[in-house]
Amino acid sequence: MPENRRQRRPRVRRPSRSPRPAPEAPATDGPVIELEIERVAHGGVFVAHHEGRVVFVADAIPGERVAARVSDQGRERFWRAETVAVLDASPDRREHVWAEASVDRAPELRAGGAEFGHIRMPRQRALKGEVLREALSRMAGLEADVHVEPVESGFAPGVSLDDGTGWRTRMRLHVDADGRVGPYAARSHTIVPVASLPLAAPELEALAPLDERFAGASAIDLVAPSAGDPAVVVVEGDRRPNGARATIEERVGERTFRLDRDGFWQVHRGAAATLTRAVQDLIDGELFDPRAANHDLYGGVGLLAAAVGDRFGETLRITTVESDARATEHAGANLSEWIGARAVTARVDRYLDELAAGAGAAERARLRDATFVLDPPRAGAGRAVVERLAALRPRQLVYVACDPVAFARDVGLFRERGYELDELRAFDMFPNTHHIEAVARLRAIV
């Protein structure tokens, strides 16, 4: 059952995969121009040209002709614009799955978080594949055949594959100065009252207090764990709560993971099971040594380390590394059945420095025989971590990525240091948004 909706708690800051500065609200008085939409760009917008200038356009589809209001003319190289009318529609355009995000609304009143909701699902996946393919070509020098797969229905009961709705098991709504609840408007931190939450899991949408007022609160968190009841949590302030923190359980197949309710967990109902299967499948068994110094970097509460353990058995040796101490504590408990598993609280770059500095000849050999799984935040692993990993020279890497550009950059860095992309899969774990998840295997070239 939901918690007391009037209860006030210190605000819980969730671990973020994409910390960004607050965007500006779209301008309401810019000029309206006609544009031919050419292609998709990273970030959920589309590319057009006007009098020789690049224009990034929201709420469009390649091949369409639209009228768009320019919302940012302050840049020399490009403008931003919001579609206000569709003059020649794509056959892939549909009625938006979220009425409050539709192009029929004024841009400043459109709910954010469903920027592809006006596009039919097969085209959404094709567009996401284009973004990943282009990023790999431009940043890693690779021409990859990218097919974006939906999450298997067996992993995500209640989720509509046709509409891309009902998949979010976590959602944060915001509270304005008058106590009204709603999401941020698209590309803005303006709060928009709404009457529906179609991307939310049905049990969360049913509980969401969209017509209530919460004076003094800063946010409303909706959480639907796979084990136990959904919760509505009222939060306020800038500090974590004192004392014991609420924990939940998530089930993936036959396995149960304990974590903090405000800790990181995959948002899509079927994402954890999908990633478990993908990581298991992409590890090359002929290259895998269960007694080597195997690692799960950015390991969270141990989901992917457990995936490796479930494939390779009780003799597995694996270390999961995570900077969040509470997540590491949970990982230690979640992985306790493997005697050779340990959980370390550390920043990944610093941990790799200490690992390299303290490794003798025998341990360096175990590291060279190892498999490293890494699931970095949206910014990717980055040059420092790539350099440290490549210097250790593990046999294979399995990289889980939630940002195509950061992933492509890191693949390019690994290629420069003697690793090649062996296999790549991509999953639509964020339907009706521009986000995509990729899982890849990189192999050290001898």
Q: Which residues are catalytic?
A: 402
List b or e across 396-407, with b for residues whose CB sees 16 or more CB atoms inside 10 angstroms: bbbbbbbbbbbb
Q: Is 280 labelled a binding residue?
A: no
Q: CA separation (Å) from 202 to 43, 207, 219, 344?
A: 27, 9, 20, 37
CB 351 within 8 A of CB 359: no
Q: Is 124 labelled a binding residue?
A: no
Q: Is 266 labelled a binding residue?
A: yes
CB 409 within 8 A of CB 132: no
Tokens of 179: 């106590």
DSSP letter assigned to residue 214: -
Q: Which residues fall within 8 angstroms of residue 336, CB to CB, at 6 or more apart? A: none
Identify the helix (H) or strand (E) that includes residue 72: strand 65-72
- Residue 47 CA to residue 49 CA, distance in Å, equals 7
Helices (H), 28-152: 121-140
Q: Is 134 labelled a binding residue?
A: no
Residue 276 dihedral angles phi and psi, to the nearest 5°: -55, -50
Query: Which residue, among 19, 22, 12, 16, has the nearest Cα to 238 in the 3D structure?
Result: 12
**At CA 291, angle to CA 290 and CA 292, rounded to 5?**
95
Tokens of 109: 């009143």
Amino acid identity for residue 339 in this structure: I
Give the residue ranges of the annotated binding site for S-adenosyl-L-methionine: 266, 298, 322, 375
Give the residue ranges of the annotated binding site: 266, 298, 322, 375
